[in-house]
Structure 1
Amino acid sequence: MNYLVGLPAFLGYFILSIVLLLTYAVVYTRITRHDEMLLIRTNVPAAAVAFTGSMLGFALPLASAVAHSVSLIDCLLWGLIALVVQTGAYFGVRYCLPDLSTRIENGQMATGCLLAGASLAVGVLNAACMTY
């Protein structure tokens, strides 16, 4: 019955990851000037693309943190670092495009794609940096 010996560790890391992902989603939706969920509910693709890219951009370094951490506390700390870095990506794009939220609210896909792409790029770099 050694098949399930790793189950407790799996559950711990998985639950922690889901909690961190939900925490990131709450933080992200609070720092943006637009209401992602309302825009997504009213079928604004630019908001869905930007939000999805941001979530994936956070999930990448979070996955790296899970893979390389030595404990749940270590994973939590690196997950929080990933959260800070990923919110910084949003503020970086908003600095370059001060009317970012207005553009997304107006459904400008180019803006949604730019934010998603920047979020993913930062997430990939963040994940790679966590391997050392």
Structure 2
Amino acid sequence: MSEQLVTHGLIAFFSHIAAAFVLLAVFVVVYIRITPYREIALIRAGNVAAAASLSGAVLGYCTALASAIANSVSLVDMCFWGVVALVIQLLAFGVARLLIPGIVSDIPDNKIASGVFLGALSLGLGMLNAACMTY
């Protein structure tokens, strides 16, 4: 393998992983800002429902983001689809609020079923989102 190919590959790897970390950080910040409860504080206090819901959201987003990385034709393309994935994950929270209106009080109250449901919904939508990103 030529040195030029290795260098090009390393540049592509580091640019994509750096962009992915930035997109993931942006997703987490936006997600915890749109929810009316403080996930990080709840998780630190041992709230399993908050941990399950946030974990599912992060896993769902990372699943879609991984597909965006694998299927993109450029760094800009990957970032565009990463933003699309972010919007879809935020919609998952909105759908959960419609299906279970009390979810915004259930999670701070550590109602594990609600946290697991939100986490599973987020992961499921992330998987569907990832599958739709193949082109």
TM over 0.5: yes
Q: Partner of 1:7 in structure 2?
A: 10
Amino acid at match of 1:78: W
Q: What percentage of aligned pairs have identical amino acids?
A: 43
Unpaired runs of 5+ residues, structure 2, are none
Give TM-score, length-normalised by structure 1: 0.96
Q: 2:117 corresponds to which letter in structure 1?
A: L
Match of 1:45 among 45, 48, 70: 48
Deviation at 1:98, TM superposition (A): 1.5
Residue 95 of structure 1 pairs with residue 98 of structure 2? yes
- Residues 29-76 of structure 1: CA deviation (Å, up to 9, x unaligned): 011011001101111011001100000000011000000101111011
Runs of 5+ consecutive residues of structure 1 not aligned to the other structure = none
- Which residue number corresponds to residue 73 of structure 1? 76
Residue 85 (structure 2) aligns with: 82
Quote the offset at 1:16 in angstroms: 0.2
Q: Return the alpha-carbon distance in structure 2 between the equivalents of residues 117 and 86 of structure 1.
A: 12
| Counterparts of 2:84 and 2:18, CA distance in 1 | 18
Partner of 1:61: 64
- Of the three residues 113, 120, 124, the one matched with 1:121 is 124
- TM-score, scaled to structure 2: 0.94
Distance 2:104 2:44 in 1: 16
The amino acid across from 1:121 in the alignment is G
CA distance in 2, matches of 1:8, 1:91: 38
One-letter amino acid of the counterpart of residue 91, structure 2: G
How many positions carry a matched residue from both structures? 132
**Amino acid of the structure 2 residue aligned with 1:4:** V
Task: For residue 4 of structure 1, report the CA deviation from its aligned partner.
Answer: 3.4
4+ residue stretches of structure 1 with deviation over 6 A? none
